[in-house]
């Protein structure tokens, strides 16, 4: 079964933001339509406002002539728009004027305009070399003297206008039934089409903007979380006590980081408790082993007593290796400049009697001069001693064991025994792994040597070649390379 693919938080946010924006836009459009249908506001620009201001001022004198009274509303509007002018026509053909109207507007209008209820008049072509005639409004209004038609504008000339004017006129005509009611069956599809034309570009623009900005915003917001994840990936067995920082982590992720840090703390405490138990157990074993060794030495020299002493030595060596293994779990930074040639020579000399007693010749092959490394001397001696002891144990009891040092920071131990099969080269470095189950070793020597080499930034390998026997090489970084 194919594992489920993890969902991207970034793209989840992007698509949800787009859907939310589209839903909010549609909601506000619908809300606006509802509000406008209930309130029915009348939005007026200056020319429409001029018509409204003069409606209450139109009257007739005693002779029945059309006049315009100077009402307070009209006076206030004219004070605000000193260039305003009016030309008023009634059904009888009478005309009244207020202000100075441009010549093209102060004349008889055609039959079509006479019948028009509402229209805007403008000129685009040039007149007398230039076009200065202003936009005007023609509108029929109901007054106390009957229905009249008003032609008006707040400017006499375009030169009187402000530097920048915007005039927006929106006329909505709804299909109606013969009885005058709105025919929603015909209006609704057209309304949906209109809203689609209006909303779709807005939704697309908002979606593109969201797609372009949200990933960058999310990446920037999660930068601290990415850094914390990188630190978590670097935690291993030796750095298990590390705590992940929460300073730059998003607030929603902080509980998860705290829980992870608490888990690391519990894990470190459990491992430390386990290590203390093993260390204490190994220490406790040394006392009864020493007692057994003392009592075994008092026995008569017989084959059985010899085998008993050998088993006691093996048990003692195992307890010491356990202690050495636990000491590597709490490594110290005590390192110093050491000469591998001098170190290898001392270790080889210490093992020479044991090797000769086991039936081997021991050879030491140093290079000319010093080979300096910065390391913990006792640990490097321990690693080399484990390899030499392993060669004595498994080298077949004959031939020569060679300890060599090279100029590249290498320590090599070679025997002339049966060797180690290639397929077992990795396995022999595992703890408590033995090629021969009945062998005397505990299977910890090579594992300890590998840990020591890795602790110093080096490596340990089993070389292959035409020679006879096993050839194990420890490679340590030279001092000038480490610096």
The reply to whether 3 falls in a domain is no
Q: What is the pLDDT of residues 279-325, one digit of tens each?
A: 666 666 666 766 766 777 767 777 777 777 767 776 666 666 666 66
Confidence band (pLDDT; 50, 70, 90) for 169? low
**pLDDT mean across residues, the chain:** 79
Residue 483: its pLDDT value, please?
39
* Residue 148 CB-density burial (10 A; 0-12 exposed, 13-18 middle, 19+ buried): buried
The reply to whether 196 falls in a domain is yes
Map tokens 């509402």 to a residue: 118
In this structure, the answer to whether residues 255 and 288 fall within a common structural domain is yes
Three-point CA angle 258, 262, 267, nearest 5°: 150
Residue 481: its pLDDT value, please?
46
Distance CA 246, CA 255 (A): 9
- Fill in the DSSP letter of residue 5: P
Q: What is the pLDDT of residues 391-407, one digit of tens each?
A: 888 888 888 999 999 99
Asked whether residue 328 carries a pLDDT value surpassing 70, the answer given is no
In this structure, the answer to whether residues 476 and 340 fall within a common structural domain is yes
β-sheet bridge partners, residue 149: 89, 140
The pLDDT of 166-184, averaged and rounded, is 73
In this structure, the answer to whether residues 317 and 413 fall within a common structural domain is no
Q: What is the pLDDT of residues 88-146, one digit of tens each?
A: 988 888 889 898 888 878 777 666 677 788 888 887 766 555 677 888 889 999 998 88
Percent of the chain predicted with pLDDT > 90: 13
Between 282 and 416, the higher pLDDT residue = 416
The reply to whether 4 falls in a domain is no
The reply to whether 392 falls in a domain is yes
Asked whether residue 29 carries a pLDDT value surpassing 60, the answer given is yes
The pLDDT of 422-435, averaged and rounded, is 80
In this structure, the answer to whether residues 278 and 359 fall within a common structural domain is no
In this structure, the answer to whether residues 354 and 474 fall within a common structural domain is yes
The reply to whether 59 falls in a domain is yes
Distance CA 401, CA 392 (A): 8
In this structure, the answer to whether residues 236 and 215 fall within a common structural domain is no
In this structure, the answer to whether residues 408 and 473 fall within a common structural domain is yes
Q: What is the pLDDT of residues 195-219, one digit of tens each?
A: 778 778 877 877 777 777 777 777 7
In this structure, the answer to whether residues 358 and 476 fall within a common structural domain is yes
Asked whether residue 48 carries a pLDDT value surpassing 50, the answer given is yes
Among 69-78, 86-95, 251-260, 400-409, which stretch is predicted with the lowest mean pLDDT?
251-260
* Terminal Cα-to-Cα distance of the chain (whole angstroms): 51
The pLDDT of 145-160, averaged and rounded, is 86
Asked whether residue 24 carries a pLDDT value surpassing 90, the answer given is no
Asked whether residue 86 carries a pLDDT value surpassing 90, the answer given is yes
Residue 362: its pLDDT value, please?
92
| Total domains, the chain | 4
Q: Which domain holds residue 253?
A: 222-330
In this structure, the answer to whether residues 228 and 309 fall within a common structural domain is yes
Distance CA 76, CA 73 (A): 5
- Long-range CB contact pairs, 80-83, < 8 A, 24+: 81/46, 81/50, 81/154, 83/154, 83/155, 83/156, 83/160
In this structure, the answer to whether residues 211 and 249 fall within a common structural domain is no
The reply to whether 178 falls in a domain is no
In this structure, the answer to whether residues 445 and 342 fall within a common structural domain is yes
Q: How many helices (H) and strands (E) does the chain have?
A: 12, 14
The reply to whether 439 falls in a domain is yes
Asked whether residue 6 carries a pLDDT value surpassing 60, the answer given is no
In this structure, the answer to whether residues 232 and 244 fall within a common structural domain is yes
Among 75-79, 96-100, 111-115, 155-159, which stretch is predicted with the lowest mean pLDDT?
111-115
Map tokens 């292959």 to a residue: 464
Between 376 and 34, the higher pLDDT residue = 376
The pLDDT of 61-79, averaged and rounded, is 90
Q: What is the pLDDT of residues 50-67, one digit of tens each?
A: 898 899 899 998 888 899
Asked whether residue 463 carries a pLDDT value surpassing 80, the answer given is yes
Domain finish residue from 129, 160, 191:
160
Residue 482: its pLDDT value, please?
42
At 350, which CATH number?
3.30.565.10
- pTM higher than 0.95 for the full model? no
At 281, which CATH number?
1.10.287.130
Residue 200: its pLDDT value, please?
80
The pLDDT of 250-264, averaged and rounded, is 82
């Amino acid at each position: 079964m194919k594992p489920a693919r993890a969902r991207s938080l970034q793209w989840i946010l992007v698509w949800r933001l787009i859907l939310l924006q589209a839903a909010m836009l549609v909601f506000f459009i619908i809300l606006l339509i509802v509000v406008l249908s209930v309130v029915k506001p009348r939005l007026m620009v200056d020319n429409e406002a001029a018509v409204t201001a003069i409606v209450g001022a139109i009257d007739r004198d005693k002779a029945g002539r059309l006049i315009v009274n100077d009402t307070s509303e009209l006076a206030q509007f004219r004070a605000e728009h000193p260039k305003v002018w009016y030309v008023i026509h009634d059904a009888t053909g009478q005309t009244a004027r207020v202000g100075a109207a441009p010549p093209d507007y102060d004349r008889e209008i055609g039959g079509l305009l006479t019948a028009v209820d509402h229209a805007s008049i403008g000129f685009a072509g040039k007149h007398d070399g230039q076009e200065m005639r202003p936009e005007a409004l023609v509108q029929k209004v109901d007054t106390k003297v009957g229905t009249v038609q008003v032609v008006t504008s707040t400017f006499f000339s375009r030169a009187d206008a402000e530097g920048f004017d915007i005039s927006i006129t929106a006329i909505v005509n709804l299909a109606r039934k013969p009885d005058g009611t709105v025919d929603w069956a015909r209006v609704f599809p057209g309304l949906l089409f209109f809203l689609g034309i209006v909303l779709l570009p807005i939704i697309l623009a908002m979606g593109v903007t969201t797609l372009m900005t949200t990933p960058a915003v999310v990446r920037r917001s999660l930068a601290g979380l990415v850094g914390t994840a990188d630190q978590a990936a670097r935690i291993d067995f030796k750095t298990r006590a590390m705590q992940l920082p929460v300073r730059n982590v998003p607030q929603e992720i902080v509980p998860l980081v705290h829980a992870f840090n608490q888990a690391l703390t519990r894990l470190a405490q459990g491992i430390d408790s386990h290590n203390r138990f093993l260390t204490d157990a190994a220490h406790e074993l040394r006392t009864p082993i020493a007692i057994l060794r003392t009592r075994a030495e008092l026995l008569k020299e017989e084959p059985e007593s010899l085998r008993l002493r050998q088993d006691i030595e093996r048990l003692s060596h195992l307890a010491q290796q356990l202690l050495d293994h636990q000491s590597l779990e709490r490594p110290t930074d005590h390192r110093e400049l050491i000469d591998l040639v001098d170190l290898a020579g001392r270790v080889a000399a210490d093992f020479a009697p044991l090797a000769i007693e086991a039936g081997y010749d021991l050879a030491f092959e140093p290079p000319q001069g010093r080979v300096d490394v910065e390391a913990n001397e006792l640990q490097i001696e321990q690693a080399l001693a484990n390899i030499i002891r392993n060669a004595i144990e498994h080298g077949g009891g004959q031939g020569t064991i060679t300890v060599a040092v090279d100029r590249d920071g290498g320590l090599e131990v070679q025997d002339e025994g049966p060797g180690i099969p290639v397929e077992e080269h990795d396995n022999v470095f595992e703890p408590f792994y033995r090629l021969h189950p009945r062998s005397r070793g505990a299977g910890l020597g090579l594992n300890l040597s590998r840990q020591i080499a890795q602790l110093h930034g080096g490596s340990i390998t089993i070389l292959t070649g035409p020679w006879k026997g096993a050839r194990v090489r420890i490679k340590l970084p030279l001092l000038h390379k480490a610096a």
